[in-house]
Amino acid sequence: MDESIRYLGAGLAIGMGTFGPGIGIGILGYGAMQALGRNPEARGAIATNMILAIAFAEALGIYALIVAIILGMLA
């Protein structure tokens, strides 16, 4: 029973931990495309800021993956 709860916790950690960053990355991409459509000359600045923000959002997903791996290894 204890092992199954750890696996459930690992699954929930990665599932819920990547849900937020996934939505965040989608919103960032949408906003960047809207900005590029309105001001194509600012492509460099928009792309740089978008990539930086996506990296920060993706880091949260990586933290969730590490927690899930640790929980899986403890089982």
User: For the chain, which residues make up each domain, given as ranges?
Assistant: 8-74
Tell me, what's the pLDDT at 32? 94
- 41: DSSP letter: G
Give the amino acid at 6: R
Tell me, what's the pLDDT at 74? 77
The superfamily in CATH containing domain 8-74 is F1F0 ATP synthase subunit C (1.20.20.10)
Alpha-carbon distance of 41 to 25, in angstroms, equals: 23
Tell me, what's the pLDDT at 38? 95
Tell me, what's the pLDDT at 75? 59
Q: Average the pLDDT over 46-75 and give the result.
A: 90
Q: Is the pLDDT of residue 17 over 80?
A: yes
